[in-house]
Amino acid sequence: MAISSSHFDKQGKAKNPYRSELEARQAAAATFAINGVDLDSYKCPECHAWHNGRRFADS
Ligand SMILES: [Zn+2]
C-alpha cells in the first residue's frame, strides 16, 4: 500500500494543514524554536494545503 509521504506522517496520520506558505513557515519556525527540529514547508499535491516535513525524511 502506497501512502503519500507528503500528506501523511510516519504514523499514517494526515499532517497538519496550513492555509498558506507563510502560516506553514511560521509553524515550522515555532517547532524549530521549541524542539530544534528543522522542517521544510511544501504545498501538498493531495489536499493542496501546506504541510511541514523533515528536511531529510526517513533515511
Ligand atoms: Zn495534504
pLDDT tens digits for 14-47? Answer: 999 999 999 999 999 999 999 999 999 999 999 9
Distance 33 CA to ligand 1 centre (A): 24
Check residue 10 and give its pLDDT.
Answer: 84
pLDDT tens digits for 48-57? Answer: 999 999 865 5
3-state DSSP assignment of residue 40: strand
Distance 5 CA to ligand 1 centre (A): 9
Distance 23 CA to ligand 1 centre (A): 15
3-state DSSP assignment of residue 58: coil
| Cell 494526515 sits on residue | 14
Q: pTM (2 decimals)?
A: 0.81
Look up residue 28 and give its amino acid. A
Higher pLDDT, 5 or 12: 12
Distance 16 CA to ligand 1 centre (A): 8
Check residue 16 and give its pLDDT.
Answer: 95
